[in-house]
Amino acid sequence: MATIETARRGTEQARRPGGRRVRVVIRRVNPWSVLKFSLLFYLCVMLVVLLGLVILYAVLSSLGVVDAIEDLAGSLALGDRQGNFQINGGYLFRTAFLIGLISTALWAAVTVFLAFLYNLIADLVGGIEVTLAERR
């Protein structure tokens, strides 16, 4: 009986042009793997944003926009007593890096919390059903 059923499945799969289709239920997500993945992901996002800010600052500085902003801020009496105002790029990027590290840790913690929450909800409703198809 089992061989007849196997033969039927084989002919059904041969007739289908798309290949095999398998339904999988995701019942549990490992929080440790979510933590590792999210830390690496958010760290990469932070580095891309910081690199973009460095490039933007370099372009604006070479065009003279940073000097114009410093002159404007000095004339508005935002600087010291002599009216000098200076944008310190090193301080800005160190601060942005620290904010990025803190944000990376916080978002990774939120992602791990969501993984725990998913595990609790999946215990109640049975998880998410995904259909996987094999390409040929």
Blockwise average pLDDT, block size 10, the chain, 136 residues: 52 61 91 96 97 95 88 72 76 95 97 96 91 83
pLDDT of residue 62: 93
pLDDT of residue 5: 53
pLDDT of residue 88: 86
DSSP category for residue 130: E
pLDDT of residue 19: 76
Alpha-carbon distance of 107 to 130, in angstroms, equals: 26
Please say whether the beta carbons of 129 and 23 come within 8 A. yes
pLDDT of residue 110: 97
Strand partners, 131: 23
pLDDT of residue 106: 98
